[in-house]
Structure 1
């Protein structure tokens, strides 16, 4: 008899949501029964991009949020990682929580050493708050350039963030869409330290391998300071599962810059047009993204350890 894979909410029930907080369109529930991957990941493998959301009864969503997700509390995310064989994770602060990092700090404090964080630094975030985030395990800040999340930051606002995180060694993580990469190429070159491009820059695969956005992304990678997350294959694909077109792009980026790529589930997959992908399938696709065992270890273990300051893994 085949064992049914447990959905993370069965392992860690989600608290009831308050009245009047129905999820927004584009925030479907996670896959109802993610499969257990056939790929056995190397020890120390990291989900370098996922979110902890709520629970709203404990960590309310920002009043000015642009979307309302389903809760994805820390126990639910931890259960998923255990099922997928992921030992480490990077929790990215979601715009639906805005600048309130209470939930992120709670999650980081509950699993010292296994988690790192990415913060959203706003005009009201003080240096003292930033240092508290650093002590908890935050090692990057995110800049959202997608209009459906928030108004893109100005150069003056970016400079203000850089001034307040100075000396901490944090990476700048950019969430951009397609040809915005080319528009922001000069900005990226002026940012100090490491720069991370989320979800392969969300390039339009219809533009082909010589599209403007992909050319800019590769040029930035060639500069030696830019990293890319080969996550979000379900977002980029024009074909649907198993997302062969987006997987091919991810594989080409891994081959192009194997020492500056990381991977993540993007769980729980908010602001998407289709149903949430099977996270077990996403893990199995990593073997196609990084078919060389040496590249697989770099992608899943060594690179995230370097980028997010995890302890070394033998």
Structure 2
């Protein structure tokens, strides 16, 4: 297994996911959705671009499905990775293979055409991700962001913001002004060392109160200053879920590219019960919310 600090040809090498996660003790409700996960390659079928930000492990659509079957997840929203850039071939292949099970989130630039966006929508893409994480390359300028939003606005896609640290404070107005559902990935990757009263957490909670912004209760391993079982990040997730269960989602972030320490996905699923103790709220966060946001088929409970 590659170490988390390994490099190859000047690029970081992302380690593969946990090889033997536990079967969760928590039984999830039918049609539960992993609202944030990725696939990578395989590279011999879907080559990675030369200018990729890092070298990912091959994690195919079949690998993803096997992991979801183990965890008890029936649906997922697959987020296009920076390791594939704007070539959505692997994502589209997964969406074609499992059209009732998966939806997608794209990476776009102003150079994409309306026809390309229409084709992505037809295939099952229902969101666009915009990245403001330096290790993944420069984020879009304000003009570039407006151009991308205009491309997806006819389809009412959600906009997933990958931000970290003070960006949740600095981008407060931007996050509120898209005119589309704005979804903050990974609880904004806030700095938890300052506690729940820090400026970043307070800004995140104010955004959630506006009614315009959603948040993914994902990636506690990326936020936690304590390590497993991530009590500090779980505490934040629990506060957010109690504050606005109607605008929270949950995701694994499988296969966890570029984490400090690889988590056990079965442990992450079991943490849901601590994050959302109420069964009705869990159903909303795991089933109802992602079904509405990602346009899954409506089914009776």
Give yes or no for TM over 0.5.
Answer: yes
The question of whether the paired residues in 2 share the 8 Å contact of 1:92 and 1:117 is answered with: yes
| CA deviation vs aligned residue, 1:28-62 (integer Å, no higher than 9, x gap) | 12112101101000000000000011001111112
The question of whether the paired residues in 1 share the 8 Å contact of 2:26 and 2:270 is answered with: yes
**TM alignment of 1:80-91, pairs within 5 A:** 80-91=67-78
Match of 2:256 in 1: 269
- CA separation of 1:21/1:133 partners in 2, compared to 1, >3 Å: closer, same or farther? farther
User: Counterparts of 1:308 and 1:22 in 2: how far apart (Å)?
Assistant: 38
The question of whether the paired residues in 1 share the 8 Å contact of 2:41 and 2:60 is answered with: yes
Moved more, 21-30 or 97-106: 21-30
| CA deviation vs aligned residue, 1:210-246 (integer Å, no higher than 9, x gap) | 1111111111111101000000001111111111111
Match of 2:285 in 1: 299
The answer to whether 1:283 aligns with 2:269 is yes
Of 175, 193, 208, the residue aligned with 1:188 is: 175
The answer to whether 1:214 aligns with 2:204 is no
The answer to whether 1:118 aligns with 2:86 is no
**TM alignment of 1:150-299, pairs within 5 A:** 150-274=137-261, 276-299=262-285
The question of whether the paired residues in 1 share the 8 Å contact of 2:13 and 2:55 is answered with: no
Of 122, 130, 152, the residue aligned with 1:135 is: 122
Match of 1:41 in 2: 28
CA-CA distance at 1:166 after TM superposition: 2.2
Match of 2:294 in 1: 308
The question of whether the paired residues in 1 share the 8 Å contact of 2:161 and 2:184 is answered with: yes
- Unaligned stretches of 5+ residues in structure 2: 1-6
- CA separation of 1:288/1:22 partners in 2, compared to 1, >3 Å: closer, same or farther? farther
CA-CA distance at 1:123 after TM superposition: 2.9
| CA deviation vs aligned residue, 1:172-208 (integer Å, no higher than 9, x gap) | 1100002101100011121112000000000011011
User: Structure 2 length normalisation: TM-score?
Assistant: 0.95
User: Counterparts of 2:263 and 2:11 in 1: how far apart (Å)?
Assistant: 18
The question of whether the paired residues in 2 share the 8 Å contact of 1:116 and 1:308 is answered with: yes
> CA-atom RMSD, angstroms?
1.5
- Unaligned stretches of 5+ residues in structure 1: 1-19
| CA deviation vs aligned residue, 1:65-92 (integer Å, no higher than 9, x gap) | 1101111110000000001000000000
Of 49, 63, 67, the residue aligned with 1:76 is: 63
Question: Secondary structure at 2:174's aligned position in 1?
Answer: helix
Question: Secondary structure at 1:39's aligned position in 2?
Answer: coil
